[in-house]
Amino acid sequence: MNKASDQTITSEISEKLINAIVNGEIAPGSKLSEPKLAQQFNISRGPLREAIRRLEGLNLVYHVPREGVKVVTLELKEIIEIYHVREALEGLAAGLAARNMEQKEIDELHKLLELHEQYIDDNGEYFRQEGDFDFHYKIIQGSKNQLLIKQLCHELYHLVRMFRYQTRKLKSRTQQALIEHKQLVNAIEQRDEQLAELLMRRHISRARENIESKWQENET
Amino acid sequence: MNKASDQTITSEISEKLINAIVNGEIAPGSKLSEPKLAQQFNISRGPLREAIRRLEGLNLVYHVPREGVKVVTLELKEIIEIYHVREALEGLAAGLAARNMEQKEIDELHKLLELHEQYIDDNGEYFRQEGDFDFHYKIIQGSKNQLLIKQLCHELYHLVRMFRYQTRKLKSRTQQALIEHKQLVNAIEQRDEQLAELLMRRHISRARENIESKWQENET
DNA sequence: TATTCATATTTTGTCGACAATAAGGTGTTT
DNA sequence: AAACACCTTATTGTCGACAAAATATGAATA
């Protein structure tokens, strides 16, 4: 179960903190108290501080010297910035995936499309959260660019998950997303790099526009 | 002089280590020994380890649990990955710069172009290293996207500088770069986002192709 | 000479402690 | 009642120490 915790407390605590922040158990804007967390996890402050330094690199918390560490807050401004970066990076990923993905991996994409379709019919829950992530993760992996994979799956996506969790009650555009996903898989299967990049960028760009317009409503 | 060191040893050591790695004082592939570094800097291992965790997030070192931390090595594979990511992110930056840069900032770009031109005439040294970075940094800053600025200026560019340092004897394509920089500033000044993005991507893409072909020569 | 095994040394991961700074609480003055 | 100053408490930044694991050393064997 503890796949990524590499035997060291720092890693283990890193993951726990990431999860706690991403799904709001530790509230956005709140301060991380070292003594409290150390006691809570039953560890000393050494590895805890190292874990926090790691979270800093993931942009989940920020550090004010001699004051402490606070969880980031995601306002519309931040969300737009995240989605702009995501659009650029995942566009690249889709293009590279069209070049480098193996047929076996493309088959798995098709399976995910089926699940997605089923979700819409059944009105299930899976695809509204995890399923979409699975789909995007698989394409990113298909790029075979290790740096890109790290920056997206192990950095930016924590922020995306955090945002999605905060807005989990809002209904997402699952129907339209399925159509766009299908086009995307098609382009990848045709090994059309440029089209794959364009479609992915448009897909994410539309998601951002959707967020922007919905944000207005909920604000007023 | 110590602008970024925010009063804490961890920050100070981080910067020193970054510089030492980027300009090869600590060799690529070599191991970072905690006791030796701690003694060398005259600090305890606590803040040193936190500084190293930070470098991990910058992709300058990687960590093998219970073995130690090693400096990354940049082979052609890594360089290509870096330049692919750079192309995507800096393309975005250029597009946003065309949208968000103030005239004052654009004027500064013109000044850098003049310096660049002068360099070619004088056969000077400045633009072959720092000048080019200044130019790109300024455009990235012009994007006004804080996340993007951090990912490029404070993360990816350390790797780019490290690579450039390793290949500093090789002559760069300064002449051609000037032409491309001029076009780019033009597009930004015209507020043509799409063109600015395209030109930046092509600029970086060509740099990558240049590297790829030269790498072959030096290998054999 | 090369290889294996046992021992000694170094290094990593973790802990608890201390000083300096920041935060919080109390009482006094206006 | 609000503002200020003072004192107490809590937290951060840093250090040195210890155990377990990994590496290096060297002897013994094939």
Nearest to B84 among A65, A66, A92 (CB): A92
The tokens of B122 are what? 């004088």
| Whether residue A166 has pLDDT greater than 80 | yes
**Whole-number pLDDT of residue A120:** 77
Say if CB B71 and CB A68 are below 8 A apart.
no
pTM: 0.94
Inter-chain contacts counted by CB atoms under 8 A, chains A and B = 81
Residue B201 shares a structural domain with residue B135: yes
Q: Which of B11, B50, B88 sits opposite A92 (nearest CB)?
A: B88
Q: Which whole-number Å values give the CA distances from A46 to A37, A93, A105, B46, B179, in the listed order? A: 12, 37, 42, 7, 52
- Please count the other Cβ atoms lying within 10 Å of the Cβ belonging to residue B20: 15
Mark yes or no for CB contact B89/A87 under 8 Å.
no
The enclosing domain of A44 has a CATH number of 1.10.10.10
CA distance A191 to chain B (A): 18
Question: Residue B205's closest CA among B87, B91, B94?
Answer: B87
Alpha-carbon span A18 to A148, nearest angstrom: 20
- Indicate if A38 and A113 belong to the same structural domain: no
Same domain, A24 and A90: no
Report the number of distinct structural domains present in chain B: 2
Residues B67 and B85 grouped into a single domain: no
Q: Give the nucleotide at minimum CA-to-C1' distance from A66.
A: D12
Q: Compute the distance between CA of residue B57 and CA of residue B73 in angstroms, rounded to an integer.
A: 16
* Of residues A193, A188, A210, the one with CA closest to residue A83: A210
pLDDT in tens, A54-106: 999 999 999 998 889 999 999 999 999 999 999 999 999 999 999 999 999 99
| pLDDT level of residue B125 (50, 70, 90 thresholds) | low
Rounded Cα distance, B156 and A155, in Å = 13
| Average pLDDT along chain B | 93
Q: Are residues A182 and A202 in the same domain?
A: yes
- Which DSSP category does A167 fall into? T
pLDDT over threshold 80, residue B197: yes
Domain-terminating residue out of B22, B47, B71:
B71
To the nearest whole number, what is the mean pLDDT of chain A?
93
Residues 6+ apart with CB under 8 A from A55: A14, A17, A18, A21, A61, A69
- Is there contact between A30 and strand C, defined as CB under 7 Å from any strand atom? no
Average pLDDT over residues B48-76: 97
> Contact A66/B148, CB-based, under 8 Å?
no
If asked whether residues B89 and B9 sit together in one domain, one would say no
Contact B65 A11 (CB under 8 A): yes
Q: Supply the range of the domain harboring residue B40.
A: 3-71
- Quickly state the pLDDT bin for B68 (edges 50, 70, 90): very high
Q: What pLDDT score does A15 carry? A: 97
Q: What confidence category does residue A3 fall into, taking pLDDT thresholds of 50, 70 and 90?
A: very low
Residue A209 — pLDDT band, cuts 50, 70, 90?
very high
pLDDT band at A2 (very low <50, low <70, confident <90, very high): very low
Residue-level pLDDT at B25: 97
Task: Check CB contact of A35 with chain B, cutoff 8 Å.
Answer: no
Of the candidates A23, A53, A71, which is a domain's last residue? A71
Give the domain-ending residue among A71, A105, A125: A71
Report which residue type is found at A25: E
pLDDT of residue B128: 66
pLDDT confidence of residue A128:
66
Q: Tell me which chain B residue has its CA closest to the CA of residue A48.
A: B50
Same domain, A38 and A135: no
Question: CA-to-CA distance for A200 and A135, rounded, in angstroms?
Answer: 12
CATH code (residue B126):
1.20.120.530
Token representation of residue A174: 């699952």
Do both B66 and B80 map to the same domain? no
* Cβ contact A28:A74 at 8 Å: yes
C-alpha B93/C-alpha B105 separation (Å) is 14
**Whether pLDDT at B154 is above 50:** yes
B86 in the same domain as B49: no
Cα separation, A74 vs A65, whole angstroms: 22
Specify whether B50 is located in the same domain as B134. no
Given pLDDT bands bounded at 50, 70 and 90, which one contains residue B116?
A: confident
The answer to whether A197 touches A90, Cβ cutoff 8 Å, is no
pLDDT at B3: 38
Helix (H, G, I), strand (E, B) or coil at A101: coil
**Can you give the pLDDT at residue A153?**
97
Mean pLDDT of the region B40-59: 98
Indicate yes or no: strand C within 7 A of the C-beta of B118: no
Residues A86 and A60 in one domain: no
Residues B117 and B143 in one domain: yes
If you average pLDDT over residues B151-155, what whole number do you get?
98
Task: Kindly report the bases of strand C lying within 7 A of a protein C-beta atom.
Answer: 10-17, 21-23
- Per-residue model confidence (pLDDT) at position A8: 95
Neighbours of B111 (CB within 10 A): 11
A127 contacts A177 by C-beta, under 8 angstroms? no
